[in-house]
Amino acid sequence: MTARDRRDLATARRIVVKVGSSSISGENADQIGPLVEALAAAHARGCEVVLVSSGAIATGMPFLSLDERPTDLATQQAAAAVGQNVLIYRYQAALREFHIVAGQVLLTAGDLENHTHRSNAQRAMERLLGLRILPIVNENDTVATHEIRFGDNDRLAAMVAQLVRADALVLLSDVPALYTAPPGTPGAEVIDTIEYGTPLDRFQFGSTKVNGVGTGGAATKASAARLAAASGTGVLVTRADLVADALGGAAVGTWFAPNPAPVAPVMAHASVD
């Protein structure tokens, strides 16, 4: 049943959770444990969980002796190839104590735009969830072209939520909620709920660039949330360390109410990270 309210997350049948690079790599690599614990708790109550995880490039950088995110495509692809392997290992190591097996799913924008590829991805994801496997989705960075440089995994997460017909989507951020203006700006206030159809231009979301390891930000999260909400998926945006509260239906974050008359997703060309 579609989550009509953030409280419905506690009983949702299927949830997609997206986490960004900065939340699970570098000095925050140890945060994979608390994230997995929250996902495992939802899994234990019967919820089908899909994790969309950024972080392949950021995780691979130290193994290539890189201090900053590479700017050339070939090195980005090399870092992703190494980092994706390490990232999945870390997730599986954390999941082991909960007796949960992870399944890696790498997608490109083209996979979700091509009918045959989209159907294959959907069938594979449904089978993984039916087998109680926890799919971990990321952009297939090693074969990406411009997507690796200009996209963001918030949009990918929204498209995955559409693909698996999720009841809810949780976008994890570096801030506890979205604000009416960039945090720290005089007069900026927390946005509790954005009803479907509310014009987003009334809010002054911040830059799409977050830090040296990832892309995304308030603007991309708002855009992705609106995309998922249009097809009937409720969306919560909150800070990564509040994920357990979020999945438990607590009053945290910013809630994007779903479209009461859902429309079929339109797979127009879009770049994803």
141 is in an annotated binding site: yes
Rounded-to-integer distance, Cα 122 and Cα 104, Å: 14
Between helix 115-130 and helix 153-163 the angle, nearest 10°, is: 80
* Residue 2, helix vs strand vs coil: coil
Give dist(CA 14, CA 191) in Å, integer. Answer: 25
Contact assessment for residue 54 and residue 20, using Cβ atoms and an 8 Å cutoff: yes
Cβ neighbours of 33 (radius 10 Å): 14
For residues 248 and 186, is the Cβ–Cβ distance under 8 A? Answer: no
Residue pair 23/172 in contact (Cβ under 8 Å)? The answer is: yes
Which residue in this structure is represented by tokens 């090693």?
A: 142
Q: 65 labelled as ligand-binding?
A: no
Supply 177's token pair: 């909620």
Confirm or deny that 173 is annotated as ligand binding.
yes
- Tell me if 18 is assigned to a ligand binding site: yes
**Residues comprising the binding site for substrate?**
54, 141, 153
Q: Residues forming the annotated binding site for ATP?
A: 18, 173-174
Task: Please report, in range form, the residues annotated as the binding site.
Answer: 18, 54, 141, 153, 173-174
